Amino acid sequence: MQVASWPRIMCKLLPTRSRTRIFRKITLFLQGFFFSCIVFAGFEISQELLAKIESKYGKVATVRVSEWQQLMLANQALPENEKLAKVNDFFNQSINFVDDIALWNVNDYWATPVEFLAQGAGDCEDYAIAKYFTLKELGVPEEKMRITYVKAIQLNQAHMVLTYFETPRAVPVVLDNLIPEIKLASTRDDLVPVYSFNGSGLWLAKSRGSGQRVGDADRLSLWADLTQRIMRNDL
């Protein structure tokens, strides 16, 4: 497993110089993400699962997963802004950036939060997905969160982050693996939004605000595979 250095924070998802390839990639992701029919019963971390994780990934992996479980159990009553900070810090500080091709030997793989933590590595989509589901487990409403594709200008790369809207018309804040701080999207001049989405819809980006809703969550693809692996606790 090879971990990138400064480019460890780079997201390899889309080559920005090709408009056709950018939108093909976005379409593939959205086809997978828009599977909202499955209802999650919560992340069950059993002793049997921890034993499997330790056998495959080592003791340090079980520590990460156990700490994640404790994070979700201990912080249910916090205000939402404190939940955001705890979840953002936890994943940014616990996980190394590694490309899917180096980690999973495929161009694109959407890791479950358990896989992400067991590996101790993943790419930008894995950070955003893990933060999204963890905050859902902590009681943050889905409608306040969106997975957001952006262009990271300084890196000249496509990138993915989690955005949170305190109110429907608010400027969102950005939870990002590129930087440790959670900042208003209006201050992130280094990011240009393209699309944002969650389990219930798709929005065409409008500057750094909410944007225009352009579709429903009504298609199946890699998202179905991801949700099934979550339910099975696959490794």
Query: CATH no. for residue 12?
Result: 3.10.620.30
pLDDT at 138 over 80: yes
SS3 184: strand
Q: Would you state the pLDDT for residue 165?
A: 96
Q: Tokens representing 20?
A: 């056709």
Residue 204 is assigned to a structural domain of this protein: yes
Please give the angle made by the CA atoms of 143, 177 and 76, to the nearest 5 degrees. 45
Per DSSP, 187 falls in state G
Its domain, for residue 94, covers: 6-36+44-232
Contacts 24+ apart (CB under 8 A), 221-225: 221/28, 221/31, 221/32, 221/35, 222/28, 222/29, 222/31, 222/32, 222/108, 222/110, 223/31, 223/32, 223/33, 223/34, 223/35, 223/110, 224/32, 224/35, 224/38, 225/32, 225/110
Q: Using 50, 70 and 90 to split pLDDT, how confident is the model at 214?
A: very low
Domain membership of residue 217 (yes or no) is yes
CA distance 224 to 229: 9
Mean pLDDT taken over the chain: 80
- Tell whether the model's pLDDT for residue 155 goes beyond 60: yes
What is the mean predicted confidence (pLDDT) over 136-152? 93
Whether residue 166 lies inside any domain: the answer is yes
Q: Is residue 109 part of a domain?
A: yes
Instruction: Kindly state whether residue 1 falls inside one of the protein's structural domains.
Output: no
Q: Which residues pair with 196 in a beta bridge?
A: 148, 203
Domain count along the chain: 1
What is the predicted pLDDT for the residue at 38?
A: 35
Q: How far is CA 129 from CA 52, 77, 109, 122, in A?
A: 23, 22, 12, 11
Position 19 in a domain: yes
Among candidates 42, 40, 30, 43, which has minimal Cα distance to 223? 30
**Three-class SS state of 98:** coil
pLDDT band for position 201 (cuts 50, 70, 90): low
Q: 197 - beta bridge partners?
A: 147, 202
Tell me which of 177 and 203 has the higher pLDDT. Answer: 177
User: What confidence tier does 225 reach under pLDDT thresholds 50, 70, 90?
Assistant: confident
Tens digits of residue pLDDT in 29-48: 554 444 333 334 467 788 99
pLDDT score, position 84: 98
Lowest-confidence segment of 119-133, 142-156, 196-210 by average pLDDT: 196-210
Q: Tell me the whole-structure pTM to 2 decimals.
A: 0.79
92 belongs to a structural domain? yes
pLDDT value at position 226?
77
pLDDT above 50 for 120: yes
Q: What is the mean pLDDT of residues 176-187?
A: 96
Task: Name the one residue in this structure whose structure tokens are 């999207």.
Answer: 185
Is 76 a domain residue? yes
Q: Of residues 76 and 25, which shows the higher confidence score?
A: 76
Judge whether residue 104 has pLDDT over 90. Answer: yes
pLDDT at 40: 42
Model pLDDT, residue 7: 34
Rounded to an integer, what distance in angstroms lies between the CA atom of residue 216 and that of residue 225? 19
Which pLDDT value is given to residue 74?
Answer: 96
Q: Tell me the C-alpha to C-alpha distance, in Å, between residue 48 and each of 66, 181, 226.
A: 13, 36, 21
